[in-house]
Chain A
Amino acid sequence: MSVTQRSPITYAVTLLALVFLYLPLAMVVLFSFHATGAVSFPFTGFSLRWYRETLGDEIFRSTLWNSTVVAISVSVVTLVIGTMAAYGLTRCAPRLRAPLALLFFLPITLPGLFVGIALLVYFARLDIQLSLTTVMIGHFVYVFPYFLLVAKAALDRLDPALEEAAADLGASPWRIFRKVTLPLIWPVLAGATALAFALSFDEFIITFFIIGPDSTLPMFMYSRLHRTVDPAINVVSTLLLAITLVFWVIAFAFAVRAARGRARATDTLLGEAAA
């Protein structure tokens, strides 16, 4: 039991921080409905005009589609490879752990700029055409460490006694994974996949360098940003916010569920291991 302290100053700072974070975003959303299309006061009236225009825009729709395809592909690949890597990392020989961890987590510390231009140069050297595939590769490098972070944390929290008990009851490692480990960590993995989707969908910094003729939604937005007055930006922004928010809610819900469900799940599962 921790008795919470009252702390008016930190409370005030937290409140201000929340306002600071949300106000600009709220403004963008608000002005996507603005009748005149200008982003300044006074606010003249509501209109869905810009939504209709943008959603009808062929280029917008195709970039939306591209971003979705890329994000789904990247998420799936990351889920499979990342889960394997997390599992391997937490269970391999202790000597290997440090160098592997270094390789896996280094991309987070490196600004996207360097990753992007290194890949650009690399693909040029190897004569690989820039396309959505190269984008997917770049996204994978970016997203993988985040996924690994979450998956590894979940595996670390797992009580080794559970898997030992399953082995004691005769289960093979693959069976243990299927019947004991996976059922316990799947909410976290689902959440991490949703996270991967959101990260990929929104990625711009690396994408900018390795994109080919097919464009993604953030690139579309970037090209529009160069035009000074374009109400479409507000719309695209709001849509982007909505999409990534949905996936974040999903990821968060899974994380909360995982935190609660752990205790109950263990009892029923061990019966399955021996079956």
Chain B
Amino acid sequence: MTSVAEASRETRRARFGPGALTLPAAFGLLLFFAAPLGTFFLYSFLTNSLYEVSRPLTLEGYSDALSSEVNRTLGVNSLVVGLCAAAATVVIGLPVAYWLRFAAGRWQVLVLFLITATLFASYLVRIFAWQSILGGNGLLNSGLRRLGVIDEPLGFLLYNRFSVTVALVHIFLPYVVLVLYAGFRPVSPALVEAAQDLGANAFTRWRRVILPLVAAPAVTAFMLVFVLSAADYVTPQFVGGTDGALLGVRIQAALTGVGNWPLGAALSFLMLAAFLLCYLLTVLALRLLRLDRIRFVS
């Protein structure tokens, strides 16, 4: 329900410039995004012909995907790692976004810049960095040994789901801070003060006022990290080992290694279906709690 002022603004804008300007972009994306995905979806129903597909239509791809024990384990792994990474980044990101919005003062721009600067620290560089840090002869272990804290290297640091999660948190934390900060922007400091004034201590303020108000962006950030983490195929390759292997690696192998395209396609779309389901569940949850569309009064 838009106000009169908002509606009038939108109509005013509509007069200038035709929507035809969007055509090149629309064309480009339809041709190189929608069409490829559509084709790929189709391929999940075709027969494997080693780096090719052929008729007849079949559900072999899907049955292969679902019947394999390995796939199921990897699927569960991906789910767990995705959830942990998402939870960790949001739990860390919330206080940071709060600080930036309400307590940063003149430091806001600088810290925001510093955090977002790491966004463009190359993805591969970060994976490599964690591999170096957590490895048996890596920085953490060699440092601790030099300091005499431990004698033998800590094996549990690397090549498991923990290390994959840590690396993923490192990769996605800046995104999450950005999304959460954007979510905090419309929250006026007066709301936090009003909560204080009405007797709420810090815990109560977070529980009753702050978290509900940023629930929607927080869920968005959570889903973003969850989806991107669960589908990651590079991080597990270098820091995951066997315990930390994720489904993405299998999908990639199916496409480029084994050459079983229908299987790869089937796995992909099963994953996407799972993501969609999770997304719908969160939307439903938000709607039930009436936290999905909060209208801030300026």
Whether A associates with B in a native complex is: yes
Q: Which residues of A contact B (CB under 8 A)?
A: 2-7, 9-11, 13-14, 17-18, 20-22, 24-25, 27-28, 31, 38-42, 81-82, 84-85, 87-94, 96, 100, 103-104, 106-107, 109-111, 113-115, 117-122, 124-125, 137-138, 140-141, 144, 148, 160, 163-164, 167, 173, 176-177, 198-199, 202, 204-205, 208-209, 218, 221-222, 225, 233, 237, 240-241, 244-245, 247-249, 252, 256
Interface size on B, residues (CB 8 A): 98
Per-residue CB contact flags for chain B residues 227-239 toward chain A (1 = under 8 Å, else 0) read 1101111100010
Partner of B120, one of A7, A81, A88, A245: A245
Complex contact B32–A18 (CB within 8 A): no
Question: Within residues 117 to 143 of chain B, which ones have a CB less than 8 A from any CB in chain A?
Answer: 117-133, 137-139, 141-143
Closest residue on chain B to residue A96 by CB atoms: B19
Sample 30 A-B pairs with CB under 8 A, ordered by A number: A7-B102, A9-B202, A10-B103, A14-B99, A17-B92, A17-B93, A17-B173, A20-B173, A27-B132, A28-B128, A84-B22, A84-B24, A85-B21, A91-B18, A92-B19, A104-B26, A106-B33, A113-B248, A120-B256, A124-B51, A125-B39, A141-B29, A160-B12, A164-B12, A205-B233, A221-B124, A221-B128, A233-B128, A237-B129, A240-B122
Q: How far is the CA of A104 from the CA of B22 in the complex (A)?
A: 10
Complex contact A113–B252 (CB within 8 A): yes
Q: How far is the CA of A241 from the CA of B137 in the complex (A)?
A: 24
- Is there a chain A Cβ closer than 8 Å to B114's Cβ? yes
Complex contact B98–A114 (CB within 8 A): no
Q: Max chain B CB contacts within 10 Å: which of A88, A208, A222, A244?
A: A88
Question: Which 8 residue pairs spanning A and B have beta carbons closest together?
Answer: A92-B19, A88-B21, A111-B231, A88-B22, A85-B25, A122-B36, A24-B129, A40-B142
Complex contact A121–B146 (CB within 8 A): no
Q: For chain A, what secondary structure do more than half of its interface residues adopt (helix, strand, loop), or is it mixed?
A: helix
Q: How far is the CA of A92 from the CA of B131 in the complex (A)?
A: 49
Closest-CB distance, A12 to chain B (whole angstroms):
8
Chain A residues with CB under 8 Å of B238's CB are 225
Complex contact A17–B29 (CB within 8 A): no
Partner of B125, one of A28, A89, A92: A28
Q: Once A and B bind, how many residue pairs between them come within 8 Å at the CB atom?
A: 276
Closest residue on chain B to residue A248 by CB atoms: B120
Partner of A122, one of B21, B39, B129: B39
Complex contact A140–B32 (CB within 8 A): yes
Which one of B54-62, B68-76, B105-113, B283-291 is at the interface? B105-113
Chain B residues with CB under 8 Å of A92's CB are 14, 18-19, 22
Further pairs besides A24-B129, A115-B33: 9, Cβ < 8 Å = A14-B95, A18-B111, A24-B126, A109-B227, A113-B252, A114-B268, A118-B40, A208-B234, A218-B124
Complex contact B13–A122 (CB within 8 A): no
Closest-CB distance, A149 to chain B (whole angstroms):
11
Chain B residues with CB under 8 Å of A110's CB are 272
Closest-CB distance, B131 to chain A (whole angstroms):
8
- Is there a chain A Cβ closer than 8 Å to B34's Cβ? yes
Closest-CB distance, B193 to chain A (whole angstroms):
8
Complex contact B139–A41 (CB within 8 A): yes
Question: Within residues 233 to 280 of chain B, which ones have a CB less than 8 A from any CB in chain A?
Answer: 233-234, 238, 248, 251-252, 255-256, 261, 264-265, 268, 272
Q: How far is the CA of A140 from the CA of B32 in the complex (A)?
A: 9
Q: How far is the CA of A163 from the CA of B33 in the complex (A)?
A: 34
Complex contact A114–B25 (CB within 8 A): no
Closest-CB distance, A139 to chain B (whole angstroms):
11
Closest residue on chain A to residue B167 by CB atoms: A24
Complex contact B24–A9 (CB within 8 A): no
Q: How far is the CA of A103 from the CA of B142 in the complex (A)?
A: 50
Q: How far is the CA of A247 from the CA of B119 in the complex (A)?
A: 12
Complex contact A91–B16 (CB within 8 A): yes
